[in-house]
A = this chain, B = another copy of it.
Amino acid sequence: MSFNEELQSRREEAEKIIFSFLPPEEGRVSEVSGAMNYSVRLGGKRLRPIIMAETYRMFGGEGKSIGPFMAALEMIHSYSLVHDDLPAMDNDELRRGKPTTHKVYGEAMAILAGDGLLNLSFEAAVRAFELEPDNKNIPEALKVLFRKSGLAGMLGGQSVDVRNEKAGTDPDLKELEFIYENKTSRLLEAAAMTGAILAGAGREDVEGLERMARALGIAFQIKDDILDVEGDEAILGKPVGSDEKNGKVTYITYKGLEGAKKDVLDYSETAIKEAAALSRKSEFLDRLIRYLVDRDK
């Protein structure tokens, strides 16, 4: 099986699990549950649950607690996209080539659908206690997952974006790195760490995974900036040059295209080194890191 086929197969496995935690679209609440389903099923790389499942497997996890956590993490990612796309935020009408949730269901229902997904992420994660009652690591995994998604993580990063937007200010390089780390790295850290924590990995490995995912997230985000400059619209499936058109400050503003490319390489090497220093190895994880920084979409 090629790496792409392997990735596709893992994506399908992850989706089967994630979708099994989504609510039926029925009864009086069918509209909001419809919007929740729509938002999660819209597609995506399912990168975070795939990484989580892999670090769980790497460290010998064989139970059922991983499913609820995979679903929870993807729901958190989905809710954040639904709310980011809202008219009061980025006001985006398309995501992955399809109408955003608020375009289909209206603004009020999209706000509720996002709230519903965040709430459901917790309901899903808590099911791990039933599915693997003897796993003593679930509380620690819950703690890490929701710290990384909240004020000290993804949401904190998003809030700095919003504050700058509101004030009409641009982030300097240091603040830009803060935004990248929080908006992108934190959920990758949550993925890599909670998989390992649930499998009973030791503290050193969990911290190594955190550093790996931090570097991977920044590399991933800078790569996004580069693709917006020199990507192929036909492959990307979206227009390039949008950052410049919108006057958006990116990594390239401060480092230039060549500097940015060099930093993607540096950060991805850091990620690979951190993965190599773990007590367990995963060829899949190594290939995934390389794939994500070499991607052309």
What residues make up the interface of A, taking CB atoms closer than 8 Å to B?
23, 28-29, 31-33, 36, 79, 83, 86-89, 106-109, 111-112, 114-116, 118-120, 122-123, 126-127, 129-130, 139, 142-143, 146-147, 149-151, 155-156, 158-160, 162-163, 165-166, 175, 178
Residues B119 and A146 in contact, CB atoms below 8 Å apart? yes
Residues A116 and B151 in contact, CB atoms below 8 Å apart? yes
Distance, CA A123 to CA B143, complexed state (A)? 6
One complex includes copies of this chain to the number of 2
Residues A32 and B159 in contact, CB atoms below 8 Å apart? yes
User: Which residues does chain B contribute within 8 Å of A156, judged by CB atoms?
Assistant: 28-29, 32
Distance, CA A127 to CA B111, complexed state (A)? 27
User: Which residues does chain B contribute within 8 Å of A126, judged by CB atoms?
Assistant: 139, 142-143, 146
User: Which residues does chain B contribute within 8 Å of A123, judged by CB atoms?
Assistant: 143, 146-147, 150
Q: A118-B118, A120-B151 are in contact. List 15 more A-B contacts (CB 8 A).
A: A28-B178, A29-B160, A32-B151, A33-B151, A83-B111, A83-B115, A88-B111, A89-B111, A106-B166, A112-B155, A114-B115, A116-B159, A119-B149, A126-B142, A126-B143
Complex: chain B residue closest to A179, CB-CB: B28
Given the interface pairs A122-B142, A146-B126, A156-B29, the reply to whether A89 lies near B116 with Cβ below 8 Å is: no
* Pick from B89, B107, B139, B143: contact of A108, CB under 8 Å: B89
* Pick from B122, B155, B163: contact of A115, CB under 8 Å: B155
